[in-house]
Amino acid sequence: MEQFPHISANSEIFVLTGAGISKESGLDTFRDNDGLWNNHRVEDVATPEAFTRNPSLVYDFYNNRRRELNSGIMPNKAHLILTELEKLFKINIITQNIDNLHELAGNSSIIYMHGELNKARCIKNDSHIYQWTTDLDETHKCLHCGSQMRPHICWFGEMPFQMDEIHQKAEQSSLFVSIGTSGEVYPAAGFVSMFKEMKKTTVELNLEPSRNQDQFDFAIHKPATVAVEEFKNLVLKNIK
């Protein structure tokens, strides 16, 4: 696409964000370091089997990440620009990230499809969810039923959260924007195909072309803070 598409004021924009948008705030991306996540294999810390096999390791891993997140990590320009765009459009943020940087930036509509680092939930009842900013271990029990608690994270092999609501947001939105995601992990990787089937414009803002690059109508391949600012300027020039 040579010409950036026109978009109407007050349109809904579906924004999918991945680890690339938080990297410039100081958080490692999921696939840094040759497939290791904070020096751990994903299979050892991000699956239900890992939690069953070695819960202490899993608790410690997320405790460390939670401490890191809450040690002063702040939203960057990319997060803040998305908040600015809410003055003109309805921005639906669907994030694969488990940090709270969109929330800190002031975004008003956020779906955490892979869970939230600052929450914990009961292993017996998915609706027993608690705000949690301190360490979590096997001694913590659900206040409703007394069962063991676990990080409120969607691990590999589990169904992402709020998928029905995500599809509803997609149907309502006129533009799909993917920011800082590799296009490797489903079902999020399939969102661009869904928008193409609905004949809606798709935009990629990523450091490098993603696996699904041929399905995007327009792309900016730069760091998120730069790409999102360029996207904002293009959108503002093409409001109809």
Nearest to 62 by CA among 117, 19, 102, 142: 117
Q: Which of 79, 102, 114, 152 is catalytic?
A: 114
Tell me if residue 91 falls in helix, strand or coil: strand
Paired tokens of 207: 């450091």
Beta strands 40-41; 90-95: pairing state: unpaired
Which long-range contacts link 39-47 to residues 24+ away (Cβ below 8 Å)? 42/156, 43/156, 46/153, 46/155, 46/156, 47/155, 47/156, 47/157
Q: Would residue 114 show up in a list of annotated catalytic residues for this protein?
A: yes
- Which residues belong to the active site? 114
